[in-house]
């Protein structure tokens, strides 16, 4: 399998080189030249445990890694998860909740970043190279990436987060990791500022080459690839329990990476009927699918901070397919968006075979947390509650509705207490972070200042 940029450059790179490239040199995002079709083997795949299913999925995309090596990376990556089935599917009232928070940092990002950390180590050891990872986070990517890369040889990681705009637990998970190869920067700005700085550093090709920059954000194709597996695994479980032949998914999303993994699963033959993206008040994606216009607004701070995003990087990957796999159209569209902050994709609501959208504000989110706790004794974190709220507004049909649970509620105790009136969202591993020694650097939202920091701390 070879890879190409959504904008036409970096064509025909093998998987291992694609992983180390991260963002394409022309500013686009990497995609496989073809989408593998698994539709003819769903029965066989449905019988596999999570790790074996992941190996089957990854082999289609990473065929330049020997099968035995790939299996070893997968087994090592998911041995760190607390749930034997890795991603349990739980019935909560009239929906299924897919618990993706059983990894080391209690967030769905662990599913990809535990794998990516081991993958980086394997590839770098193989060719004796070094990698200086630079990442932006709205909360969970940073801690998951840090825990995936801490202490690894040949890799350093610098994470940018918006100062004061992540939850206290999320901040502690990042800044209390004191390994020498881990660096945290608190940016005076929003996540979009952080993401913009990271993209600017990657766009500076001499700087990128000199310091061997690598990406762990979902601009890296391996992140999306690793997330495809749990869509198949969840659908197989839900269909086995209900006898249904299709499933619906609702996906809380900010940067479009998680929902794009579901979109790829559908293209690969998973029997998905609806794929509903769910946003909070930062609803650029919902507005886009309802109006056909992708237009930046002001970022609002909410109780679901990992979704407080306006510019969704992975949206470009979906645009590539929406525009008939025409890189010239994608390049022109992204140039227009960068210049104006707005892009008209359609005259009215966007029609897509699978994708639709919905929005849930803070009060709806709190009501959903409160209702799930009252009726089912189940605690939803605020991001997952956005998804459940949107799912119910979209309507629970005659096929299973699966909502992706993106984080453990203990990462957002203040929001849970606000919803249910009790301080009950805790986990011993997270509570133990209180009072931990921390290390971070505060910088302005300035690409030059961050570049100087990265250069000073690079391997």
Q: How many residues belong to the chain?
A: 459
Q: In what order do the strands lie in the sheet with 2-5?
A: 13-14, 2-5, 30-32
Environment class of 437 (CB within 10 Å of its CB; exposed 0-12, middle 13-18, buried 19+): exposed
CA gap 455, 459 in Å, rounded:
9
Looking at 4, 17, 76, 109, which residue is catalytic?
109
CA gap 107, 305 in Å, rounded:
13
CA gap 143, 145 in Å, rounded:
5
CA gap 422, 28 in Å, rounded:
46
Burial 133-172 (b: 16+ CB within 10 A, else e): bbbbbbbbbbbbbbbbbbebebbbbbbbbbbebbbebbbb
Q: Is 329 a catalytic residue?
A: no
Q: In what order do the strands lie in the sheet with 155-162?
A: 213-214, 131-136, 155-162, 182-188, 441-444
CA separation, residue 395 to residues 242, 253, 276 (Å): 18, 19, 11
Active site residues: 109
């Amino acid at each position: 399998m070879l890879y190409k940029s959504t904008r036409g450059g970096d064509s025909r790179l093998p998987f291992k080189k694609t992983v180390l490239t991260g963002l394409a040199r022309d500013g686009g995002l990497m995609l496989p030249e073809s989408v593998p079709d698994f539709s003819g083997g769903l029965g066989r795949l449905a019988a596999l445990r999570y790790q074996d299913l992941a190996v089957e999925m990854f082999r289609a995309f990473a065929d330049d890694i020997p099968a035995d090596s790939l299996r070893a990376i997968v087994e090592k990556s998911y041995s760190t998860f607390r749930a034997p089935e890795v991603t349990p599917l739980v019935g909560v009232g009239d929906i299924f909740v897919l618990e993706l928070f059983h990894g080391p940092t209690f967030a769905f990002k662990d599913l990809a970043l535990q794998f990516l950390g081991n993958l980086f180590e394997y590839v770098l050891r193989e060719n004796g190279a070094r990698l200086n990872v630079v990442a932006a986070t709205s909360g969970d990517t940073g801690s998951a990436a840090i825990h995936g890369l801490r202490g690894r040889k040949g890799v350093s990681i610098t994470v940018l987060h918006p100062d004061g705009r992540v939850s206290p637990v999320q901040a502690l998970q990042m800044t209390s990791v004191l390994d020498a190869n881990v660096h945290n920067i608190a940016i005076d700005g929003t996540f979009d500022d952080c993401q913009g700085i990271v993209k600017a550093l990657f766009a500076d090709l001499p700087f990128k080459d000199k310091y061997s920059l690598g990406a762990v954000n979902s601009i890296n194709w391996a992140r999306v690839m690793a997330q495809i597996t749990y869509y198949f695994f969840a659908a197989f479980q839900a269909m086995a329990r209900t006898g249904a032949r299709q499933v619906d998914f609702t996906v809380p999303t900010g940067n479009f990476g998680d929902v794009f993994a579901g979109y790829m699963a559908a293209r690969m033959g998973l029997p998905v009927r609806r794929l509903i993206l769910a946003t909070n008040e930062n609803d650029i994606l919902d507005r886009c699918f309802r109006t056909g216009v992708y237009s930046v607004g002001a970022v609002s701070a909410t109780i679901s901070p990992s979704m407080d995003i306006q510019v969704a990087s992975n949206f470009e990957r979906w645009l590539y397919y929406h525009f008939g796999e025409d890189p010239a159209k994608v390049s022109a569209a992204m140039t227009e968006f960068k210049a104006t902050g707005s892009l008209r994709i359609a005259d009215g609501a966007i029609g897509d075979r699978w994708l639709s959208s919905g929005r849930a504000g803070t009060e709806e989110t709190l009501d959903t947390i409160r209702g799930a706790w009252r009726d089912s004794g189940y605690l939803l974190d605020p991001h997952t509650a956005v998804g459940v709220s949107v799912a119910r507004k979209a309507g629970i049909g005659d096929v299973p509705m699966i909502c992706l649970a993106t984080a453990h509620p203990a990462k957002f105790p203040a929001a849970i207490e606000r919803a249910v009136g009790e301080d009950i969202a805790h986990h011993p591993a997270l509570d133990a972070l209180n009072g931990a020694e921390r290390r971070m650097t505060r910088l302005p939202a300035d690409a030059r200042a961050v570049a100087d920091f990265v250069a000073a701390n690079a391997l």
